Amino acid sequence: MAEILHRIGATTTPGTVYAALTTIDGLAGWWTVKTKDAGDDVIRFRFDAPHGEDGFDMKVLETVPAELVRWEVVDGPAEWIGTRIRFDLKQEDDFTVVLFKHEGWREPVEFMYHCSTKWATFLMSLKEFAETGSGHPAPDDVQISNWH
Amino acid sequence: MAEILHRIGATTTPGTVYAALTTIDGLAGWWTVKTKDAGDDVIRFRFDAPHGEDGFDMKVLETVPAELVRWEVVDGPAEWIGTRIRFDLKQEDDFTVVLFKHEGWREPVEFMYHCSTKWATFLMSLKEFAETGSGHPAPDDVQISNWH
């Protein structure tokens, strides 16, 4: 099993980062503006694609205020379904550190290389959003390659 | 064994990206301005640190023009020594795609989370350098956390 790991730190409180990970307005502020509560603890994330939309549905598995958020991917690209994502938060100096893990990839396919870099740029958007109230969610996200 | 994967695409030729990965001026243009040929196929990368400098020495294991660059870390932080880095290049549409792998990590320690995100921002600097001739090498690199 392969996994994607990242670490960022935002100069704000753990509570502020936690809100950015657990509210629709927060998630829409750094990942994709098309974020919706789909009921039954599922959050629906959508992105504009060449022929319509694509995206991910995340089941919220666990939340611990200001400390932890865990999701499982219940719909989306085949490579993502069944994978799990976690955000661990902790305070260090003036920073809230986020340890990010996207685990359970069956194979390190080229799409996983892409998703790793894309997660990094979205986590930098999370940092910016948590620090300033304004990030770069899709469709205003950073283009990293021909796969966007 | 754990690994860091990334994928970027630059709107330029494979030859231009290859030059950015195999010449001192190229490497100094996107990773760190303190890049030196240390002889015996070793390239020395240094970064300003709170008390002096730290960094990495890379042994060049293999180069295939416009296609592949492989390094082994021969000096640097304990977690990096003996790990290997590869850049595979290919042309797709108007892009040169870079598949990056940093493999051989013994454990997915917190420093690996940090290095994964840091590599992403440096690879975005490589993209920018390859496309425009100007990147964001250290000490002008993007700060991602309290670990810089």
Which of A52-56, A61-65, A122-126, B34-38 shows the lowest per-residue confidence on average (mean pLDDT)?
A52-56
Chain A nearest C-alpha distance from B146 (Å):
6
* CATH number of the domain that residue B120 is part of: 3.30.530.20
In a domain, A105, yes or no: yes
Cβ separation B113–A9 shorter than 8 A: no
Residue B50 pLDDT class (50, 70, 90 cuts):
confident
Cα torsion through B75, A116, A109, B61, rounded to 10: -20
The answer to whether B114 faces chain A, any CB pair under 8 Å, is yes
The answer to whether A16 faces chain B, any CB pair under 8 Å, is no
Number of domains in chain A: 1
Residues of B in Cβ contact (< 8 Å) with A108: 3, 5
Q: In the numeric block, which tokens belong to residue B113? A: 């989370």
For B94, nearest residue in chain A (alpha carbons): A146
In a domain, A71, yes or no: yes
The answer to whether A1 faces chain B, any CB pair under 8 Å, is no
Chain B nearest C-alpha distance from A148 (Å):
9
The mean pLDDT value for A45-51 works out to 90
CB A17 within 8 Å of CB A98? yes
Residue A120: which of B95, B110, B117 has the nearest Cβ? B117
Residues of B in Cβ contact (< 8 Å) with A5: 2, 4, 108, 112-113, 116
In a domain, B143, yes or no: no
In a domain, B142, yes or no: no
Cβ separation A7–B93 shorter than 8 A: no
- Detail the DSSP E strand segments found in chain A: 2-10, 34-37, 42-49, 52-64, 68-75, 84-92, 95-105
In a domain, B23, yes or no: yes
Between A and B, how many CB-CB pairs are < 8 A? 98
Residue B113: which of A7, A108, A114 has the nearest Cβ? A7
pLDDT of A3 over the 90 cut: yes
ipTM of the complex as predicted: 0.97
For an interface test with B, give the residue of A86, A88, A116 to mutate (most B CBs within 10 A). Answer: A116
Which residues 122-141 of B are in CB contact (within 8 Å) with A? 123-124, 127
Summarised one tens digit per residue, pLDDT across range A67-125 is 999 999 999 999 999 999 999 999 999 999 999 999 999 999 999 999 999 999 999 99
pLDDT of A1 over the 80 cut: no
Which residues 25-84 of A are in CB contact (within 8 Å) with B? none
For B128, residues 6+ apart whose C-beta sits below 8 A from its C-beta are B30, B134, B135, B136
- pLDDT recorded at residue B51: 82
In a domain, B140, yes or no: no
Token match 């195999």: residue? B22
Residue B6: which of A9, A117, A124 has the nearest Cβ? A117
In a domain, B78, yes or no: yes
Q: In the numeric block, which tokens belong to residue A141? A: 């996200």
With b for 16 or more beta-carbon neighbours within 10 A and e for fewer, the A20-41 pattern comes to bbeeeebbbbbbbbbbeeeeee
The mean pLDDT value for A125-147 works out to 97
Summarised one tens digit per residue, pLDDT across range A18-42 is 999 999 999 999 999 999 999 999 9
Distance CA A69, CA B146 (A): 21
Residue B113: which of A99, A142, A147 has the nearest Cβ? A99
Domain that holds residue A110: 2-132
In a domain, A137, yes or no: no
pLDDT of B35 over the 80 cut: yes
